[in-house]
Amino acid sequence: MKSDDDITQRRPMDMPLARVPVGDVHVIAERCKECGYCIEYCPTQVLVYTKEMNTKGYHYPIVAEGKETSCVHCKYCDLICPELAIYTTSSDDDRDSDG
Amino acid sequence: MNTQTDSSFSVVHPIDHLMRADRLPHILCAGCGIGTVIHSYVHAINEFGVDEDRHVCVSGIGCSGRAAGYVNVDSYHTTHGRALPFALGIAVYNPELTVTVISGDGDLMAIGGNHFIHAARRNANLNVICINNFNYGMTGGQVGPTTPVGAKGTTAPQGSVEHPFNLPHLAKAAGASFVARWTVLHVRQFTDAVLRAMNKKGFCFIEVLAPCPTSFGRRNNLGEGLDEVEMYRQRCRIENGAQDLEPLDIDIVDHEQTITVGNFVDIERAAFLA
């Protein structure tokens, strides 16, 4: 798979100034019904199903291994969740876009 | 980054103050789009900036009728089809209120069809969110006024032979001031459309295409809710301000056909007693 550098060498002039937001994912496991919308439509594929189940027997989402800093706090998982079972908050330690 | 997965109810969602959170998780099926619509509606209330005491949510009968029971604003669960006349009474009595009707296609367009066209004709100051899942989900998947030709239901095992309503076209023809159609996947555009409707005087109609995996999806081989939403993602074409709404019929059987979504109509017209 090609990395971003292979696709194009052109970069916006303000690239060093641009900061990608970082988010923390919070899951309210007991509300989840395993519809999978948050997992499917996360733009950075942060979430996976857990192996554990909640009390109703659904596999709720959890942050994938190695993706702990990948959430960009776009809030799409929050907005599309029919159960209000997931939300993101902004992390204080924002990183540089190339960091 | 911390991942907080709390199995107790001590973690509350930031929007929980606008929900009757003690009733969550709600009774709707896994993958049902109605929860997303309720969620987007409370987000719109949150962003609208007006005190929540000024919001009223009215719903009719059906799965979508549950919406009024889960939002923490003044809400009314009316009799079948009568959400619109009830909401019209509230809006006329107190024009300061932002009255939103959240109901399904069966409630608004079948038994409440006459109320719908007359509320739109009068340009009553209402925001109407019609959750369209193409069938009567709660009663077992019977064919309704929006079931596409060829789609299967309990009462049409060989496929429906009736021509369905084209809801944006109907709303525009009846005189609505604002007409939009989105799917549950277009949450940001839909929330934005609800906000525009709240800011606008007059009859604002928003159709939301929602998956119904238990009834409609199962009988029409659309798979789980996720598969139906993925079908919307592949087939939807955004055409804001579309002039001709007549070709906006939805074909569920032919997966090559596009589904047109967008904010179609936004006109100024004197609102009814507002």
Cβ A33–B30 below 8 Å, yes or no?
yes
The Cβ-side half-sphere exposure at A50, using a 13 Å CA radius, reads 20
| Beta carbons within 10 angstroms of residue B66's beta carbon | 21
Q: Which domains does chain B have, with CATH numbers?
A: 17-266 (3.40.50.970)
Closest Cβ–Cβ partner in B1, B6, B9 for A69:
B1
Element (H, E) at B102: strand B98-104
Mind giving me the DSSP string for B169-217?
A: HHHHHHT-SEEEEEETT-HHHHHHHHHHHHHS-S-EEEEEE---IIIII
Report the C-alpha gap between B172 and B57 in whole angstroms.
23
Identity of the residue in B3, B12, B230 whose CB atom sits nearest the CB atom of A63? B3
CA–CA–CA angle A98, B3, B6 (5° rounding) = 165
Asked if A58's CB is within 8 angstroms of B15's CB, the reply is no
Tell me: the pLDDT tens digits for A12-68? 888 888 888 899 999 999 999 999 999 999 999 999 999 999 999 999 999 999 888
All structural domains of chain A, each given as residue ranges with its CATH number in brackets, are 19-96 (3.30.70.20)
Give the minimum alpha-carbon distance from A18 to chain B in angstroms, rounded to a whole number. Answer: 20
The pLDDT value given to residue A93: 58
Q: What are the tens digits of pLDDT across the range B61-98?
A: 999 999 999 999 999 999 999 999 999 999 999 999 99
The predicted pLDDT at position A68 comes to 87
